[in-house]
Amino acid sequence: MNHLLTIEWVPERKGKIVPGFIRAVDQTRLPAELVFLEIRTVADLRSAIKTLQIRGAPAIGVAAAFGLVLAAQESKSTGVAGMLADVMRAAVNLASSRPTAVNLFWALERMKKKAAGANNLPAEEFKRKLALEAVAIFEEDRKICRLIGEHGLELLKGKKSVLTHCNAGGLATSQYGTALAPIYLAHEKKRPLHVFVDETRPLLQGARLTAWELTQAGIDATLICDNMAALVMKEGRVDLVIVGADRVAANGDSANKIGTYGLAVLAKAHKVPFVVCAPTSTFDLKTSSGEKIPIEQRGREEITTMAGKQIAPEKIKVYCPAFDVTPASYISAIVCENGVCRPPYEKSLRRACGAKI
Amino acid sequence: MNHLLTIEWVPERKGKIVPGFIRAVDQTRLPAELVFLEIRTVADLRSAIKTLQIRGAPAIGVAAAFGLVLAAQESKSTGVAGMLADVMRAAVNLASSRPTAVNLFWALERMKKKAAGANNLPAEEFKRKLALEAVAIFEEDRKICRLIGEHGLELLKGKKSVLTHCNAGGLATSQYGTALAPIYLAHEKKRPLHVFVDETRPLLQGARLTAWELTQAGIDATLICDNMAALVMKEGRVDLVIVGADRVAANGDSANKIGTYGLAVLAKAHKVPFVVCAPTSTFDLKTSSGEKIPIEQRGREEITTMAGKQIAPEKIKVYCPAFDVTPASYISAIVCENGVCRPPYEKSLRRACGAKI
């Protein structure tokens, strides 16, 4: 288990929650260096999210919640009305940093509600309430990941080797991760389990982050290129595919890192179960199906350059979607903090969202 | 059309075919630089093949043929008997440079037969005969690629967009390429055709070589990461997948660059035809099925480093097969210089090999 905190709120002085700042692992520097960012402004946070220094759907949600505390702190208004207006503006600003992960919007909505309800308090108390709510989101995320791990563990019974894509581990969340949570728990319980790690082009979150996390934790893992997943499945070396999600529509269609959909098609062709792990904050019941999930397009240099070196001709056209959508029909189960959802997902996801945490 | 000669035999003096040397594009330096190697020894050739400075099944075959001329040239024997022994030793040496592409063995066998049949000639004449045979293999390869292009062109009728993997273009052969030959011919005939180019991890032959070739030729091409192929198929943007092969077994099972098998599974799931283009020298009728094709494993650093930079933790285990085998059941057609082979391949491949070129 990775005890490193990917993201946290650090008060400037002991015993007082505000003022404070965000401390976060700079995920673009791994695995070469473990560097921590200290973020004190909304502008810096927005930039850290856009450049993927902070990434992973749950971690982005937590970061955005902390971001609204920063907005209140850096507000030039002394009165709460002006401070609230600044918080609302920051929420709009942060919401546009990345379009696909719904946890971002979920966390901002929850914080905005808290801010609006606290607008009759003194300024210091207003900031304190916001910080407490953001820290609550952070703490819940840790508990939720642990619960996802426990529910997901059932699905790992009898499985010797799983395959994962991108990074849905501790680095993507406050601690345990989503797709990696059951793997960490299996390891804690000393159940032998091998993990194939897709390197996950173009930004190599699998090679840089998942491989690093699992190696640190002493878990038996093998790195492969994304295009080798089909072969290891054909060789009978994958008992289950387990991935995270950036947004799950009401019918179970799940957006996740580009390449996930292809993996799901390959898993079905090889009769390998395909499992999505995500907190209910990733479930977007207002979006009826995957076709309505907006897919972020990233810049061409993510594909044409590597470590600052040109790896493709400059004139070539590039298509660079950051995510794809896996139709529910390819998904064997969706694991959340409230249990294991099975098809038909219209019913089971709704039930999971209604349940108490 | 790419008029660049990837590999050729260059006589030291005009009017005399031997002594000479191999001139070849260093494919590891593209697309940044177009650098030509001048290879004068078997040891240097073996190293160039092993490090993929020279790559692509047909180009490796041609290179090996030229290599046996180098062996005769650098022989310390003045008599033909000793020279022949050196040629045979070089053939063993070159045969072990890469295990999967069968063109290598095919070209060496053909050259060995020629050498054995010429062992009663004077030394100079022996070397000249070998060089003529190697140049004949080279010239045939150019004609064969053009014929593959013509036969393959039929399959492109009505197709607006194709997807290819790795590099089976002019850089992989003496000139036109195999999988890219029909694309070049369509372009010559001014038929509009768009090409999706898989970047092809780990060594990025698609991004570095295919994207470069197609851009040079003015063909409309879009570079994608391998894990985006499923999405572009789902979006209905791929009418046909077209790839080369390193070895085709008697039953049609085809070994090609790692990732090809996964593409074939995805193509079938999306009802997209999947076509293999390869000369009959790639057909290995002595190997009954794909399970018997040896698959080369490459070094871990091909996945864990990029442009000299570590992109994965040093301790992580790695699996790095260079090729995979696509079962014949996924292949819609195999195009060779003698026509379009259709299932059942046991019959059609045999017929294609029996036909005159």
pLDDT averaged per 10 residues in sequence order, chain B, 357 residues:
80 96 96 96 98 94 98 96 98 95 94 97 97 97 95 98 96 88 97 98 96 95 98 98 97 98 98 97 96 95 91 95 98 98 97 76
For tokens 């292949």, what's the residue?
Answer: B331
pLDDT for residue A11 is more than 70: yes
* Contact (CB, 8 A) for A183 and B185: no
* Contact (CB, 8 A) for B54 and B74: no
The pLDDT value recorded for residue A296 is: 94
What is the percentage of chain B residues whose pLDDT exceeds 90?
Answer: 93
> Taken in order B286, B289, B294, B296, is the CA torsion positive or negative?
positive
- Average pLDDT of span A229-246: 98
Among the partner residues B212, B309, B319, nearest to A228 by beta-carbon distance:
B319
The C-alpha atoms of residue A136 and residue B163 are separated, in whole angstroms, by: 48
The pLDDT value recorded for residue A356 is: 46
Laid out side by side, the sheet with B20-25 consists of B7-11, B20-25, B36-39
Q: Which of A141, A198, A246, A253 is catalytic?
A: A246
Buried b (16+ CB within 10 A) or exposed e, A292-319: ebebeebebebbbbbeeeebbbeebebb
Pairs of residues, one from chain A and one from chain B, whose beta carbons lie less than 8 Å apart:
194
Strand partners, A194: A161
Strand partners, A24: A7, A37
Assign B5 to helix, strand or coil.
coil
Q: B235: which residues sit within 8 A by CB, 6+ positions away?
A: none
- Average pLDDT of span A318-344: 98
The C-alpha atoms of residue A141 and residue A137 are separated, in whole angstroms, by: 6
The C-alpha atoms of residue B310 and residue B164 are separated, in whole angstroms, by: 28
The C-alpha atoms of residue A139 and residue A168 are separated, in whole angstroms, by: 18
- Phi, then psi, of B119 in degrees rounded to 5: -75, 0
The pLDDT value recorded for residue A5 is: 87
- Rounded to a whole number of angstroms, the distance from the CA of B144 to the nearest CA of chain A is 28
Assign B210 to helix, strand or coil.
helix
Tokens read off for B52? 């993929």
Render B135-201 in DSSP notation, one character per residue.
HHHHHHHHHHHHHHHHHHHHHTTT--EEEE-S--SGGGSSSS-STTHHHHHHHHTT---EEEEE--T
Q: What is the pLDDT of residues B185-237, one digit of tens each?
A: 999 999 999 999 999 999 999 999 999 999 999 999 999 999 999 999 999 99
Banded pLDDT at A320 (limits 50, 70, 90): very high
Q: A117: which residues sit within 8 A by CB, 6+ positions away?
A: none
A353 touches chain B (CB under 8 A): no
Residues in chain A: 357
Residues in chain B: 357
The C-alpha atoms of residue A269 and residue A248 are separated, in whole angstroms, by: 23
Among the partner residues A232, A307, A318, nearest to B222 by beta-carbon distance:
A318
Model-level pTM? 0.94
Q: What is the DSSP letter of B321?
A: B
Residues from chain B contacting residue A202 (CB–CB below 8 Å): 225
Q: What is the pLDDT of residues A270-317, one digit of tens each?
A: 999 999 999 999 999 999 999 999 999 999 999 999 888 899 999 999
CB within 8 Å: B266 and A266: yes
Nearest CA in chain B to A197: B318
The pLDDT value recorded for residue A137 is: 96
Q: What is the pLDDT of residues A187-213, one digit of tens each?
A: 999 999 999 999 999 999 999 999 999
* Contact (CB, 8 A) for A312 and A129: no
Assign B21 to helix, strand or coil.
strand
Tokens read off for B343? 């299932």
Among the partner residues B304, B306, B317, nearest to A307 by beta-carbon distance:
B306
For tokens 């992989």, what's the residue?
Answer: B172
> Taken in order B286, B288, B289, B294, is the CA torsion positive or negative?
negative
Q: A224: which residues sit within 8 A by CB, 6+ positions away?
A: A196, A197, A198, A199, A232, B303, B318, B319, B320
Among the partner residues A202, A208, A311, nearest to B312 by beta-carbon distance:
A208
pLDDT for residue A126 is more than 60: yes
The pLDDT value recorded for residue B166 is: 97
The pLDDT value recorded for residue A307 is: 80
- Rounded to a whole number of angstroms, the distance from the CA of B74 to the nearest CA of chain A is 37
SS3 string, chain A, reads CCCCCCEEEEECCCCCCCCEEEEEECCCCCCCCCCEEEECCHHHHHHHHHCCCCCCHHHHHHHHHHHHHHHHHHCCCCCHHHHHHHHHHHHHHHHCCCCCCHHHHHHHHHHHHHHHHCCCCCHHHHHHHHHHHHHHHHHHHHHHHHHHHHHHHHHCCCCCEEEECCCCCHHHCCCCCCCCHHHHHHHHCCCCCEEEEECCCCCCHHHHHHHHHHHHCCCCEEEECHHHHHHHHHCCCCCEEEECCCEEECCCCEEEECCHHHHHHHHHHCCCCEEEECCHHHEECCCCCHHHCCCCECCCHHHHEECCEECCCCCCEECCECEEEECHHHCCEEEECCEEECCCHHHHHHHHHHCCC
Buried b (16+ CB within 10 A) or exposed e, A122-138: eeeebbbbbbebbbebb
Nearest CA in chain A to B317: A222
B334 touches chain A (CB under 8 A): no
Q: Shortest CA distance to A313 belongs to which of B177, B2, B238?
A: B2
Tokens read off for A162? 């799983």
For tokens 């002394």, what's the residue?
Answer: A78
pLDDT for residue A1 is more than 50: no
Which residues in chain A (258-287) have CB-CB distances under 8 A to chain B? Answer: 258-259, 261-262, 265-266, 268-269
Render B265-297 in DSSP notation, one character per residue.
HHHHHTT--EEEE--GGGEETTS-SGGGS--PB
Nearest 5°: CA angle at A239, between A233 and A244? 95
Residues from chain A contacting residue B202 (CB–CB below 8 Å): 225
The pLDDT value recorded for residue B356 is: 47
The C-alpha atoms of residue A9 and residue B86 are separated, in whole angstroms, by: 72
CB within 8 Å: A307 and B303: no
Residues from chain B contacting residue A231 (CB–CB below 8 Å): 258, 261-262, 321, 324
Q: Which of A69-73, A334-338, B54-58, B327-331 has the lowest mean pLDDT?
A: B54-58
Strand partners, B248: B254, B283
Residues from chain A contacting residue B211 (CB–CB below 8 Å): 312-313, 316
- Average pLDDT of span A173-188: 92
The C-alpha atoms of residue B205 and residue B351 are separated, in whole angstroms, by: 32
The pLDDT value recorded for residue A76 is: 97
B33 touches chain A (CB under 8 A): no
- Rounded to a whole number of angstroms, the distance from the CA of B65 to the nearest CA of chain A is 31
The pLDDT value recorded for residue A175 is: 76
A225 touches chain B (CB under 8 A): yes
B329 touches chain A (CB under 8 A): no
- Phi, then psi, of A335 in degrees rounded to 5: -100, 125
